[in-house]
Amino acid sequence: MYIIIGTYFCSENVFKSCNIFFRFSFDFYWRCIKTELSNWIPADGDTFVTKDGFILNTFGYEHPKDRVFAFLKYIPAEFKDFFNVQMLKRIWSYKTKKLFRAEKLYTAKNYKTFIDVFRKNFPDYIYYCPLRKKELITAPLNLIDELFVPKDCLKHLRKIDEPDSLQNKALNLLDMISAASDVGLDDFGMHGSIALNMHSPESDIDFVVYGSENFRRVETTIAELVNSGKLVYLFSNRLDKARKFQGRYMNKIFMYNAARKPQEIETEYGTTRFAPIAPVKFQCTVNDDTEAIFRPATYKIKNYISLGPTSELQIDKVPDRVISNIGCYRNIARKDSEIKVAGTLERVEIINTGEIYYQVVVGTATSEEEYIWPM
């Protein structure tokens, strides 16, 4: 007989030893950790469970009043067959539910499949955005059953009397980084499977740093801890090497990203209109990387050079920024560095002033050939 614990399958005769890893009360943890929806200011990366059992992550910081833009992370087992996408072999569990995850979450093809499935079977999750004139995946606030904000998840994790070994490593890692960077623990958050109490001993440590200045200080500190041998960077490709967002601590993989503080949210849904024009490929110089650490990531640019005749633009349509909706292109280039970009040129109108400017968006879910590469 096999029993599912977290994301582990344990034989019955080792159930007791597996259970040592999860020795605190699950019910107490879930009851404590949830953030009240009425107090929520949606931020990128906040996680929620819907009444249908889907687990989604909030995307970005601009949302209609009655719903939030989001991307699908986990699919309940009973709905798995609706989604004609390749699933990871691993099975997760949340409370009593088995969950599956798409092997590739962010491809254009899979996003279109998700849209089709929700439109047909769960139409409340589909929102036609009049500002972009396209359908997007969202979650109505009245369908959100449980909400997990990383900042609150870390606060409650610190209150556990007997954290398991992974939780203890996560807490020790953040204590070390906080002390070395002089960024208070109130400006960190816990994300991922630890935050939802879905973790196993094999899970990673996924944390958040709130605020742009705090993130840069943590980034510098982690580099110093790597140089001193207390941490090790992990690189799977050249984007990882550019971002330096992933490492190893005490034989455990960790990763971290930035989230805006509420006072850093300067945009509001409904103030800007977007119109796609055409795909473009070009290289350019990063002029400002201040907003490149967040999602969506914004790179202010200069010195646009087309990489083909179809990407040659009139002067008044040359973009002054590149926006990435895809998380892996965050923080891969700094000011004065060169990047190569393939994306969709957009006309942007600020509604109340009529101001027009142009940007290029990477991650429009219309093409697999959209990217940002450091040069």
The pLDDT value recorded for residue 237 is 94
The pLDDT value recorded for residue 33 is 54
pLDDT average, residue stretch 103-120: 94
Joined together, the tokens standing for residue 9 give 């399958």
pTM: 0.89
pLDDT average, residue stretch 125-153: 97
The pLDDT value recorded for residue 32 is 42
pLDDT average, residue stretch 28-44: 70
pLDDT average, residue stretch 303-319: 98
The residue among 101 and 202 whose pLDDT is bigger is 101
Strands 205-210 and 188-191, how do they pair?
A: antiparallel
User: With 80 as the cut, is the pLDDT of residue 72 above it?
Assistant: yes
Coil, strand or helix: which one is 50? Answer: strand
Coil, strand or helix: which one is 25? Answer: coil
User: With 50 as the cut, is the pLDDT of residue 2 above it?
Assistant: no
Joined together, the tokens standing for residue 69 give 């833009």
The pLDDT value recorded for residue 202 is 87
Distance of CA 49 to the CA centre of its chain: 16
pLDDT > 90 fraction of the chain, expressed in percent and rounded: 88
- Please report, in angstroms and rounded to a whole number, the separation of the first and last CA atoms in the chain: 54
User: With 70 as the cut, is the pLDDT of residue 18 above it?
Assistant: no
The pLDDT value recorded for residue 34 is 58
Number of residues assigned to the chain: 375
Coil, strand or helix: which one is 236? Answer: coil
| pLDDT tens digits, 320-347 | 999 999 999 999 999 999 999 999 999 9
What does the alpha-carbon distance between residue 74 and residue 94 come to, in Å, rounded to a whole number? 10
Query: If you average pLDDT over every residue of the chain, what do you get?
Result: 91
CB neighbour burial string for 264-293, b if at least 16 within 10 angstroms, e if fewer: bbeeeeeebebeeeebbbbbbbbeebebbb
- H runs (alpha helix) in the chain: 15-21, 26-33, 108-121, 150-157, 165-181, 192-195, 212-227, 238-243
Residue 195: name the closest of 160, 162, 150 by CA: 150
User: With 80 as the cut, is the pLDDT of residue 204 above it?
Assistant: yes
The pLDDT value recorded for residue 369 is 94
User: With 60 as the cut, is the pLDDT of residue 316 above it?
Assistant: yes
User: With 50 as the cut, is the pLDDT of residue 50 above it?
Assistant: yes
The residue among 9 and 229 whose pLDDT is bigger is 229
User: With 80 as the cut, is the pLDDT of residue 92 above it?
Assistant: yes
Give the amino acid at 312: E
Q: Which long-range contacts (CB under 8 A, 24 or more apart) does 3-12 make?
A: 4/91, 4/93, 4/98, 5/93, 5/200, 6/93, 6/193, 6/198, 6/199, 6/200, 6/203, 7/90, 7/91, 7/92, 7/93, 7/193, 7/198, 7/199, 7/200, 7/202, 7/203, 8/200, 8/201, 8/202
Minimum mean pLDDT range among 106-110, 150-154, 268-272: 106-110
The pLDDT value recorded for residue 6 is 36
User: With 90 as the cut, is the pLDDT of residue 213 above it?
Assistant: yes
